[in-house]
């Protein structure tokens, strides 16, 4: 194995060990490695293609391992003497192809059950997005999955587009929306989503009890209904699904907001953490709620225009 500088090294290698009593932590690390698409070597360690994002992921894992009283090293690798880069790339493709095959099987089952399809499709699409994010070398099966998803989307889009348009026109245009004071990242981004894609003339007010604004639509409230956390989704994701917003950039924003708000690293997106801390800092400075919301929505708009 030859180690080179960061600019030339095409591979990253994470080598670590944990004390035997840290079995639960070992499972935690393994799950994250799997979610990141890391390939386990037969000899030792886990490999990812070199990129700033993958390097950051490995560095965070190494930090966590050391915190758990283990040892970890992240190595920039130019080549493996017993594993040519072409073969290593093929192993990544094979791993993703197996994932895509399982997903295609489940998609075909969902397509055969038209009544259940609208409920099954969001979860299947999320699985695809997670796979595509770690499909580093473009498995040929990816396009087949995309075709199946498009086929599944067609009947749902036909049913929802008209009903959604009527619903938005009647219920959710030119409205006042109420949320809790001291808005954090989920409320700020949800307000941005509302004004950008749902209600361009939306007005926002703040209250601990939504009943104080009876004509307002609640969002991210602890009580009073409206739109909030549902299952594993944050409020932003609930709005995204409820109003069938298909913008690809917004879906990426949803992953960012989810990870920043819920802190479960589900999507491995770190971009929202900084925005969340900025909002917290403004609140601690005593800046008014509506000003925090205005500034925060500008930050989210900037994120929307730059996210990849």
Same domain? 191 vs 239: yes
Kindly state the average pLDDT of the residues 226-255. 90
Is 168's pLDDT higher than 90? no
Closest by alpha carbon to 228, among 200, 252, 261?
261
d(C-alpha 46, C-alpha 265), whole Å: 19
What contacts 160, CB < 8 A, 6 or more positions away? 244
Region class of 150: left (phi > 0), else alpha (psi between -120 and 50), else beta: alpha
Is 4's pLDDT higher than 50? no
How many folded domains does the chain comprise?
3
Same domain? 299 vs 225: yes
Same domain? 165 vs 185: no
Is 193's pLDDT higher than 90? yes
With beta carbons less than 8 A apart as the criterion, state whether 258 and 237 touch: yes
Same domain? 113 vs 150: yes
212 DSSP assignment: G
Same domain? 61 vs 17: yes
Tokens 């095409």 belong to 10
Kindly state the average pLDDT of the residues 7-32. 88
- Per-residue pLDDT band at 123 (split at 50, 70, 90): confident
Answer with the one of 67, 83, 99 that is the final residue of a domain. Answer: 83
Secondary structure class of 3 (helix, strand, coil): strand
pLDDT digits (tens, 9 = 90+) for 279-305: 999 999 999 999 999 999 999 999 998
Is 18's pLDDT higher than 60? yes
- Which of 164-168, 175-179, 301-305 shows the highest mean pLDDT? 175-179
The pTM (predicted TM-score) of the whole model is 0.53
Query: What range defines the domain where residue 253 resides?
Result: 172-306
Closest by alpha carbon to 298, among 59, 9, 89, 282?
282
Q: Which two structure tokens, joined as six digits, stand for 69?
A: 């009283």
Same domain? 258 vs 225: yes
Kindly state the average pLDDT of the residues 258-266. 88
Is 198's pLDDT higher than 80? yes
CATH number of the domain enclosing 70: 3.30.70.240
What contacts 52, CB < 8 A, 6 or more positions away? none
d(C-alpha 255, C-alpha 197), whole Å: 17
What pLDDT, on the 0 to 100 scale, is given for residue 118?
A: 77
What contacts 293, CB < 8 A, 6 or more positions away? 183, 187, 188, 191, 204
Q: Calculate the average pLDDT of the chain.
A: 87
Same domain? 161 vs 207: no
Helix 289-306 and helix 271-284, axial crossing angle in degrees, nearest 10: 160
Answer with the one of 127, 150, 169 that is the final residue of a domain. Answer: 169
Same domain? 105 vs 51: no
Same domain? 201 vs 296: yes
38 DSSP assignment: P
CA distances from 219 to 131, 204, 207 (A): 31, 10, 11
Same domain? 50 vs 96: no
Answer with the one of 169, 204, 230 that is the final residue of a domain. Answer: 169
Is 158's pLDDT higher than 70? no
Same domain? 179 vs 245: yes
Same domain? 144 vs 205: no
């Amino acid at each position: 194995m030859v180690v080179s500088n960061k600019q030339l090294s095409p591979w990253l290698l994470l080598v670590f060990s944990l004390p035997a009593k840290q079995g639960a932590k070992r499972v935690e690390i393994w799950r994250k490695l799997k979610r990141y698409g890391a390939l386990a070597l037969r000899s030792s360690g886990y490999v990812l293609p070199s990129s700033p994002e993958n390097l950051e992921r490995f560095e965070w894992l190494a930090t966590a391992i050391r915190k758990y009283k283990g040892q970890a090293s992240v190595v920039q690798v130019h080549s493996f003497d017993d594993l040519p880069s072409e073969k290593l790339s093929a192993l990544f493709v094979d791993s993703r192809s197996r994932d895509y095959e399982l997903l295609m099987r489940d998609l075909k089952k969902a397509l055969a059950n038209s009544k259940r399809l609208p409920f099954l499709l969001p979860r299947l699409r999320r699985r695809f997005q997670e796979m595509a994010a770690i499909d580093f070398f473009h498995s040929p099966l990816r396009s087949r999955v995309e075709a199946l998803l498009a086929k599944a989307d067609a009947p749902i889009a036909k049913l929802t587009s008209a009903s959604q348009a009527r619903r938005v026109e009647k219920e959710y245009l030119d409205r006042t929306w109420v949320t809790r004071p001291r808005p954090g990242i989920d409320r700020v981004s949800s307000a941005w989503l509302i004004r950008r894609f749902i209600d361009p003339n939306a007005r926002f007010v703040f209250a601990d009890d939504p009943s104080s604004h009876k004509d307002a639509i609640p969002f991210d409230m602890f009580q009073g209904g409206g739109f909030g956390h549902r299952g594993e989704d944050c409020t932003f994701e609930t709005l995204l699904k409820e109003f069938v917003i298909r913008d690809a950039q917004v879906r990426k924003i949803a992953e960012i907001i989810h990870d920043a708000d819920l802190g479960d690293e589900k999507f491995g997106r770190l971009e929202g953490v900084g925005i969340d801390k900025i909002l917290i800092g403004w609140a601690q400075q005593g800046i008014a709620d509506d000003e925090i919301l205005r500034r925060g929505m500008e930050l989210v708009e900037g994120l929307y225009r730059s996210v990849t």
